[in-house]
C-alpha cells in the first residue's frame, strides 16, 4: 500500500514546490543554498582528510580517472597526498558563483520582492488642473514722447560737448 502512496506524495510535493508561492520559493532557495554550502565544505574536508590518508582513496575514483585520460595527464598520481585537493579546490571554486547567486536570490525572495513590486508599480496618475494666468500684453508697448520733451531730457542730462572746446 505504501508503495503506491509514496510516489503520489512525492509528486504532490514536487508540484507544490513548483508553485509561485513566495514562502515556498524562499524555503527552496534556503535549502538549496545550505545543501550546496554543506556539500562544498564536506568536499573540502574530505580533501583535507585525504592529505593525511591518501591510501584510503576509493577505488572508484581511480577507475573513473582511467575513463578520462586527458584529466589523468593533468592531475597528480592518485597516491599523492595532494591529489584530492587538486580535484576538490577547482570544483569548489567553480561552485562559488552558484552559491553567490543562491544567496542573493534567497535574500531577495519573499517579502522584499513584494516591497520592490510595490515600489516599482506605477503610481496613480493625478489630474492637474491648469491655473488660468492673467492675460499678458503681447508685443512691445510704445509710449509716445513728443520731441520737445525728449530734447529737454537730453539737455538736462548733459549733452555732448564739442571736441576741443575748453572751459
Which residue carries 597528480 as its cell?
76
Phi, psi of 127, rounded to the nearest 5 degrees: -85, 115
| Cβ contact 47:102 at 8 Å | no
| Residue in 160, 140, 157 with CA at minimum distance from that of residue 149 | 157
User: Regarding predicted confidence, which is higher, 113 or 156?
Assistant: 156
C-alpha cell at 102: 543562491
**Mind listing the pLDDT tens digit for each residue in 20-60?**
887 888 888 999 999 999 999 999 999 999 999 989 988 88
pLDDT for the residue 91:
95
pLDDT at res. 167: 54
What average pLDDT does the segment 89-105 reach? Answer: 94
In the chain, where the domains are located = 22-115
d(CA 36, CA 32): 6
User: What's the Rg (C-alpha) of the chain?
Assistant: 43
Amino acid at each position: 500500500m505504501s508503495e503506491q502512496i509514496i510516489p503520489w506524495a512525492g509528486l504532490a510535493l514536487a508540484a507544490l514546490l513548483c508553485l509561485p508561492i513566495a514562502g515556498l520559493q524562499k524555503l527552496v532557495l534556503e535549502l538549496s543554498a545550505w545543501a550546496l554550502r554543506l556539500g562544498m565544505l564536506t568536499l573540502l574536508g574530505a580533501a583535507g582528510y585525504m592529505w593525511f590518508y591518501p591510501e584510503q582513496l576509493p577505488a572508484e575514483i581511480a577507475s573513473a580517472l582511467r575513463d578520462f585520460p586527458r584529466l589523468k595527464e593533468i592531475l597528480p598520481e592518485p597516491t599523492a597526498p595532494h591529489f584530492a585537493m587538486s580535484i576538490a579546490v577547482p570544483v569548489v571554486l567553480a561552485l562559488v558563483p552558484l552559491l553567490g547567486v543562491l544567496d542573493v536570490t534567497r535574500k531577495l525572495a519573499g517579502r522584499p520582492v513584494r516591497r520592490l513590486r510595490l515600489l516599482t508599480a506605477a503610481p496613480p496618475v493625478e489630474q492637474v488642473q491648469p491655473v488660468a494666468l492673467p492675460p499678458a500684453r503681447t508685443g512691445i508697448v510704445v509710449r509716445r514722447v513728443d520731441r520737445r520733451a525728449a530734447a529737454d531730457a537730453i539737455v538736462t542730462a548733459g549733452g555732448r560737448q564739442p571736441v576741443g572746446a575748453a572751459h
